[in-house]
Amino acid sequence: MHFSDFKLLSVLAQEMNMRKAAEKLFVSQPALSQRLQSIEKDWGAQLFLRSQKGLTLTPAGEKVIDYANLVIEQEEKVREELSLMESKVFGTLKIACASIVGQNWLPRILKQFVTLYPQVKISLITGWSSEILESVYEGDVHIGIIRGTPDWKGKKIHLFKDHLYLVDREIQNVNEVLETDRPFIQFKSDSNYYQEIQDWWHRHFQTTPKRTIVVDQIETCKQMTYNGIGYAILPEITLQSHTKEVSKIPLMDEDKKPIGRDTWLLGYDSAFELKQVQAFIDLIK
């Protein structure tokens, strides 16, 4: 089998649909079907069952797909190793990034990066910081970008700190929170972020909010706040499109200093030696 055949099988297993796979591989559906038949003949086994609903992997197909994915992964690693020996930056840059940073900060960085290094492929996953740390620990990515204070023994670079604000259309002073009957809108987040908000709240009010609405996305929380449904505590990074109709009141600690969230880039030493990772870090600096 040629390497392109391994890629073909991998895409088929991902899409489980001949038409979608053909579109992704930029080939005609008949050509893809003919090539698959040839591959199955080489293996002496049927790899996929065809039906009107799509494709289904056979037990033999599962074995061959596992092998195909392994070949693709090994080929990618070899390319990364070769990139260390060449002056030109190429290969794949694998990033795991906290969702809030991936939505509000990373896109403009990646736009500059892909312009400077068009031969580098970008693999990006987003999620909670705890999930990002796990991806870095497992070696699934080269670098992780997380929020908070990481317990990480390897290399780490401080990217930025953004402050937390109480955001509302009506409240002009933090203490007015006790007077309003409108709800406190919270978004689901990592436990350490939630704990920071809880600690600040109890220090100031020694009580809990009268009413609370919990949403699953920070953008939903922001839009509900902007539309006057309630008030929220949001990080500065999400308020770049801040409207004058909404007040931003900075949260302060016991020493009257602004409370903020740190963002870090981290990874293993071996990953930092890759030219594509070095180029990304140089761009950030």
Rounded to whole angstroms, the Cα distance separating 142 from 278 reads 11
| CATH number of 65's domain | 1.10.10.10
Per-residue pLDDT of the chain (285 residues; tens, 9 = 90+): 687 899 999 999 999 999 999 999 999 999 999 999 999 999 999 999 999 889 999 999 999 999 999 999 999 888 877 776 666 788 899 999 999 999 999 999 999 999 999 989 999 999 988 889 999 999 999 999 999 888 888 899 999 998 999 999 999 888 888 888 899 999 888 767 778 888 888 888 888 888 899 998 888 999 999 999 999 999 999 887 767 788 899 998 888 899 988 999 999 999 999 989 999 999 998
Write the DSSP assignment of 167-222 as a string of letters: EESS--SGGGGGT--SPEEEE---HHHHHHHHHHHHHHHSS--SSEEEES-HHHHH
Residues 12 and 150 in one domain: no
Residue 22 has a pLDDT of 93
Residues 273 and 142 in one domain: yes
E strand or H helix at 166: strand 155-168
| CATH number of 269's domain | 3.40.190.10
Residues 268 and 156 in one domain: yes
Q: Which domain holds residue 232?
A: 163-259
Say how far residue 30 (Cα) sits from the centre of its chain.
Answer: 36
Residue 79 has a pLDDT of 84
| CATH number of 195's domain | 3.40.190.290
Q: Report the number of distinct structural domains present in the chain.
A: 3
Residues 182 and 250 in one domain: yes
User: Which of 281, 279, 276 has the alpha carbon at shortest distance from 94?
Assistant: 276
Task: Tell me the β-bridge partners of 50.
Answer: 55
Cβ contact 98:235 at 8 Å: no
Query: End of a domain among 83, 111, 137?
Result: 83
Residue 85 has a pLDDT of 63
Cβ neighbours, 10 Å, residue 39: 19
Encode pLDDT of 187-197 as tens digits. 888 767 778 88
Residues 38 and 54 in one domain: yes
Q: What is the DSSP letter of 119?
A: T
* Confidence (pTM): 0.66
Rounded to whole angstroms, the Cα distance separating 80 from 233 reads 42
Query: End of a domain among 34, 58, 83?
Result: 83
